[in-house]
Amino acid sequence: MNQIQIFIFRAILGGILAVVLTRIFRPEAGPPAIVGLGVILVGLAYVFEYLRKKKS
């Protein structure tokens, strides 16, 4: 997989998880909260990948 495909996969998965988590824990939250959580989840995926590669 190249970098664009990985980003798209992470963005889709982060978006799905953001919707599910937001609807479970904060059902009254609006779209900006869902988008913000999705951005945080994708960002954390890249942070953890960086830390894992740095460790090796």
CB 18 within 8 A of CB 38: yes
Domain spans of the chain? 3-55
pLDDT over threshold 90, residue 56:
no
pLDDT in tens, 11-46: 999 999 999 999 999 999 999 999 999 999 999 999
pLDDT over threshold 90, residue 5:
yes
d(CA 50, CA 54): 6
Give Cβ neighbours of residue 15 (< 8 Å, ≥ 6 apart): 34, 38
pLDDT over threshold 90, residue 55:
no
pTM score, whole prediction: 0.88
